[in-house]
Amino acid sequence: MFNRKIGIDLGTCNSLVFVPGKEIVLNEPSVVAVSVYENKILAVGKDAKEMTGRTPDEIRVYRPLRDGVIAEYRITEAMLRYFIQKSPGLRFIKPELMIGVPVGITSTEKRAVIEAGMSAGARAVYTVKEPILAAIGAGIPISSCSGHMIVDIGGGTTEIAVISLGGIVVARSLRVAGDKIDVAISNYVKSKHNIALGEKSVEDIKMNIGTAMKEKEEKVMEVKGRDLVSGLPRIIKISSNEVAGASEETLEEIVKVVKQVLRDTPPELSADIMDKGMVVTGGGALLSNIDVLITEKTGVPSFFAEDALLSAAKGAGIILDNLDSYKRSIMSK
């Protein structure tokens, strides 16, 4: 019996595909390489990402999602088709897709996601708000009458929501997340060290020594870039505390919106959140000490979800397995 359902966490940086019964079957960068002259897709995912910053004029590398929504429709459609074909047992079957979308998505942006999924070969496309998916994937019992708060930091957007009785009570979507931290690090290195770094180098810095708060024991990393004065390649050393300083402004924006959501939360639910703490999830949550920073700035305990990067994709899979139970969460505006 073929499985006809798949859940997709369609992220700005990475996309994950969950097949019920098989768990996460794909975890690929949301990147597509296109031949300009032939108007043909050359590579998708990891293969395309390896080409970033290394292509001749006739090849363009696109990230078709920006700030959590579709920026390049045709390329997103090609990427979805690739994900469907790569999923086990779905090459010749039209599956049902469950796709996560940001809380702040407009009806036009939501329609673009549904149409891209249908054009890519899906039989039906369901969209669910990202915080609902992330909460379910993180093991939060969203249907209980107790309040739960989730901070989902992705590549393009940060989704913050208070969930109770299967629905979102208060939510904010901020188009500031992991990508903006990358830009902040890149700009810092440019102004302080006069070095231009490639996207991959900046990402390596964030992954290896990135931290949300300055530490007593600094980590140091060597990075290679192009000297802006001489134009020649140069190696510099950068510390984790420098990364924390560069990221400070971006993280402050995220904390500011977390505080807004807490202020707008009804008192009964505030008490629940204070008891349980808030759950931090998403790829951006992998930045070291971000939970400590949120706790320090808000006074509310916070902790990482298990498998923070995979939460939304897992949540999509759980909903697909239990569509009737979660119907109200899917239908909510």
- Domains of the chain plus CATH, in order, are 5-132+312-331 (3.30.420.40), 144-176+247-306 (3.30.420.40), 193-242 (3.90.640.10)
What was the pLDDT predicted at 131? 92
User: Are 240 and 218 spatial neighbours (Cβ–Cβ below 8 Å)?
Assistant: yes
Q: What are phi and psi of 45, to 5 degrees?
A: 75, -135
pLDDT tens digits along 94-153: 888 888 888 888 889 889 999 999 998 888 888 889 999 999 999 999 888 899 999 999
Longest dimension (CA), the chain: 63
Against a cut of 0.85, is the pTM above it?
yes
Which pLDDT score is estimated for 91? Answer: 62
CA distance 312 to 226: 37
pLDDT in tens, 173-210: 998 898 999 999 999 999 999 999 988 899 999 999 99
Question: How far from 190 is each of 155, 208, 225, 312, CA to CA, in Å?
Answer: 22, 19, 10, 34
| Per-residue pLDDT at 42 exceeds 80 | yes
Task: Give 261-310 pLDDT, tens digit per residue.
Answer: 999 999 999 999 999 999 999 888 888 899 999 999 999 999 988 888 88
Going from the C-alpha of 174 to that of each of 51, 177, 211, 228, 254, the distances in angstroms are 30, 8, 20, 33, 7
Provide the 3-class DSSP secondary structure of residue 25.
strand
Q: What is the pLDDT of residue 89?
A: 66
Name the residue with tokens 């390596």.
204
**pLDDT computed for residue 333 by the predictor:** 45
The pLDDT of 249-253, averaged and rounded, is 94
Contact 169, 269 (CB under 8 A): yes
Residues 6+ apart with CB under 8 A from 123: 4, 94, 95, 96
pLDDT at 6: 84
